[in-house]
Amino acid sequence: MKVAFSLMIHNSDDDRVAYQEAAALQRAGDEVSVFSAYEQKEKSREEKSEWLLQQLLDYQPEVIVCDTPIAVKIAYKVKKKIGPHVRVLYDITEWYPSKKNLRNVSEIKKILRAFLLSFASVMAGLLADAFIFGEYYKSLPFKILFFWKPSALVSYYASKEAVKQIEPKDTLQTECVLYYSGNLTKEKGYDRVVSVAQKVAALRQNVPFKLRIVSASIPETIVLPDNLKIDSSGWMSFPQFCETVGEGDIYMDLRDNDMENSHCLPIKLFYYMMAGRPMIYSNLKAIQKGVPEFDEIGCMSEPDDEEKITAFILKCVDNPNFYRQLCQNSLNLSSQRYNWENIENQFVKFIHNGI
């Protein structure tokens, strides 16, 4: 089977597409190509759409997996030209509209843009033959509006083979590496992470702490306790991230718990879990739904509840048995349930048969 991934907002080496979905289909014997208009930086939006349309027409795929409403619209045009046997699948991992679509515009433009994006999303649902959902809450509008169309839930689980396993420390008294990966913005909770790191370092002055930051942005220079260092690793490719993520001891993500964030399942959660470490996350409904056993592997908290978050970190530092048990629980859950290998065949079957 010839399968094309038609991408408007993702690179051709996107984690989910290149390292999981496309790789799984190639292992199953399919011919797979990934076309990313996003990488055509010098082109206008119209030129990108035309470029993507031409790539797909030249390739003559039997299945087209799309990442946005625009990609679905282009794939539908391809289907009309090639023939009705072509299946158009919409792989939904983003909200339309989302906060980032509505930033830095006036209220009137914000309302208009929200309406247009919502309309485009509904139109994509009409044009698509089937849906792939990355998470539960983002599936609901489409399952309600297009209940008769086939769909599959293919979550963001990490692959066992991708993440390097590093044995957890016997104790964090010798060094505790707190780990943050993402944008260095207030909304994503970076300021909260730094504040918590400063607080635990001040409360355990005999313990060396390190805050490892993985981000394309450069952190500002700030005054730190003598026993806290910041290690900024810069942007990492997906293989680099998987190779080194296990060097962290405790992972933190304290993003704003607003309406949108609360209904988005963080992808990195499953990579932290596969690394076999405890983590601290904002109390998000998507995590409660997606990983109901989260209390066994970490701490969910209101993002501004520094007292609860600090107490959890200090318990990990002061109680090696507690920390090691969390590590073991995390590794067990990822190895037994939350891994790509468990859902790969389901994904391949859906692409092949639509069921």
Q: Tell me phi and psi for residue 207, to 5 degrees.
A: -105, 125
Q: Tell which wins on pLDDT, 219 or 209.
A: 209
The mean pLDDT of 319-336, rounded to a whole number, is 97
Q: Tell which wins on pLDDT, 106 or 73.
A: 73
Domain boundaries, the chain: 2-157+340-353, 176-336
Q: Which residues contact 275 (CB under 8 A, 6 or more apart)?
A: 163, 165, 166, 245, 246, 248, 330
pLDDT class of 52 with cuts at 50, 70, 90: very high
Sign of CA dihedral 346, 137, 291, 198: positive
pLDDT surpassing 60 at residue 139 = yes
Within 10 angstroms of residue 249's Cβ, the number of other Cβ atoms is: 23
Structure tokens at 25: 């289909």
Q: Tell which wins on pLDDT, 344 or 111.
A: 344
Select 176-336's CATH number: 2.60.120.10, 3.40.50.360, 3.60.15.10, 3.40.50.2000.
3.40.50.2000
pLDDT on residue 355: 54
pLDDT surpassing 70 at residue 347 = yes
The mean pLDDT of 107-133, rounded to a whole number, is 92
- Condensed to tens digits (0 to 9), the pLDDT of residues 199-218 reads 999 999 999 999 999 999 88
pLDDT on residue 269: 97
pLDDT on residue 98: 84
Half-sphere exposure for 312 (CA within 13 Å, toward CB): 22
What is the Cα–Cα distance from 238 to 228, expressed in whole angstroms? 27
SS3 339: strand
- Condensed to tens digits (0 to 9), the pLDDT of residues 247-271 reads 999 999 999 999 999 999 999 999 9
Q: Contact at 8 Å (CB) between 183 and 201?
A: no
pLDDT surpassing 60 at residue 157 = yes
Q: What is the DSSP letter of 68?
A: S
pLDDT on residue 337: 96
pLDDT on residue 97: 83
Mean per-residue pLDDT over the chain, rounded: 95
The mean pLDDT of 41-50, rounded to a whole number, is 94
pTM: 0.94
Nearest by Cα to 38 from 76, 1, 71: 71
pLDDT class of 46 with cuts at 50, 70, 90: very high
Q: Contact at 8 Å (CB) between 213 and 235?
A: no
Shared fold status for 2-157+340-353 and 176-336: yes
Rounded percentage of the chain residues whose pLDDT exceeds 70: 99
What is the Cα–Cα distance from 185 to 171, expressed in whole angstroms? 31
The mean pLDDT of 293-314, rounded to a whole number, is 97
pLDDT surpassing 80 at residue 105 = no
The fold of the 2-157+340-353 domain, in CATH, is: Rossmann fold (3.40.50)
What is the Cα–Cα distance from 172 to 170, expressed in whole angstroms? 7
The mean pLDDT of 102-127, rounded to a whole number, is 88
